[in-house]
A and B are shown apart, each in its own frame.
Chain A
């Protein structure tokens, strides 16, 4: 999957070692962020025609199209269901997360 790699953030020991201003290098992800998902979107690859509608509408940009089949990055998908709602081919099911 073509996604930014997690980079470990080394917590500064001194205040002076904090970054200057609220600016950081892009694609700098320090933690996964998907804990609030109640339903997970699951692509039914048999139905999917790869029209890329879900890819375009996903508000978090977590649908990856770099491989043969579409893939959802569950580390960052928030489970909003926009993709499933927008898919014209009913190719995405929202499946209850089991904890």
Chain B
């Protein structure tokens, strides 16, 4: 065991070092900055044998990664917030070309009003970009997912870029004891990259990012959709294998915590899961039947697992650190759509909170659970509730 007291950004950098990308192309942006600073230091001190490309923008950062991946090399990039949106044009190029690029995104609020703190508006924007999206709970999971991400993205049945999301500041800048696995162990788990036939070389020239007219375009997209959906089994199998090798796993697509006999549960993504676990423990001690589902992947979306996990639960709350303006929280929409196949759907409630880095406290979570328990008891509760708001929402 090699434990280090590091923050989430450091943990990502350590994970990336162990995954040995050939090229790192990134532009610094708070709260991702520490990650790319560390990586450039690793390249400088030769503890990582990679090329570090100093690019002038996020758009170029991903464009470089696309070039790197197109010749069959392992690419890494990292961004956050407006930087991710600046990259946005290139995201579907990477996913459509089926290039297994791995990106770290430090979840951060979007303009405007602008700030640098954490919410999840940025990655929700790109839910339709064709990238696999995973959300991690702590720094250890962040490190581990960098290693898993390359295995998943580069799997010949998946061949899809992957975005590893960690909450700005709460994870990126908070220090934890993190186990850094040995290079030998990581090498045994993550072999060198091999591309099926969508990369090129001097001997094997290719036309990249070709166009396909209205006669054939749609079939390419359906194939992409099929492969993304089928990647669920690969993601689970790789997580299981990871657990065997490293002694810790993450339950694949989602983790259920105290859900079996629960009347009310919250569905969480990312760092708020940790706080919610504690609230569940505390409320269980006083006999309240509450639980949680830690939703790890938003794309591919584990609809079947969600259905199974909630079918006997009376009321379900979804925490969304985002709003899809004009409707509701994005995860809420996605979960609801998964449940229409159930004979009897639970009472569904959306808790929107944490926007622009607003705290979601233990008390806020306890209030949410109490509201869900009331709902389970047949007392009407609002469909959408905001957490920790300063004033009346008239």
Contacts and interface: CB of A to CB of B under 8 A. Distances in A.
Question: How extensive is the interface on chain A, given as a class?
Answer: 10 to 19
A16 B206 contact: no
Contacts of A23: 70, 97-98, 198-200, 206-210
B196 A20 contact: yes
A56 B303 CA distance: 56
Interface stretch (B220-228, B322-330, B354-362): B220-228
A73 to B, nearest CB: 18
Interface in B201-233: 204-212, 219-220, 222-223, 226
Contacts of B226: 15-16
Interface in A21-35: 21-28
A18 interface: yes
Contacts, number: 57
B207 A25 contact: yes
A25 B198 contact: no
Contacts of A27: 205
Interface of B is mostly: loop
Nearest to A26: B205
Given A18-B223, A20-B198, A21-B198, 9 more contacts: A12-B219, A18-B220, A20-B159, A21-B159, A23-B198, A24-B210, A25-B204, A26-B200, A26-B206
Interface of A: 12, 15-16, 18-28
24 contacts: A15-B219, A15-B222, A15-B223, A16-B223, A16-B226, A18-B219, A18-B223, A19-B197, A20-B196, A20-B223, A21-B96, A21-B98, A21-B198, A22-B210, A22-B211, A22-B220, A23-B198, A23-B209, A23-B210, A24-B206, A24-B207, A25-B204, A25-B206, A28-B207
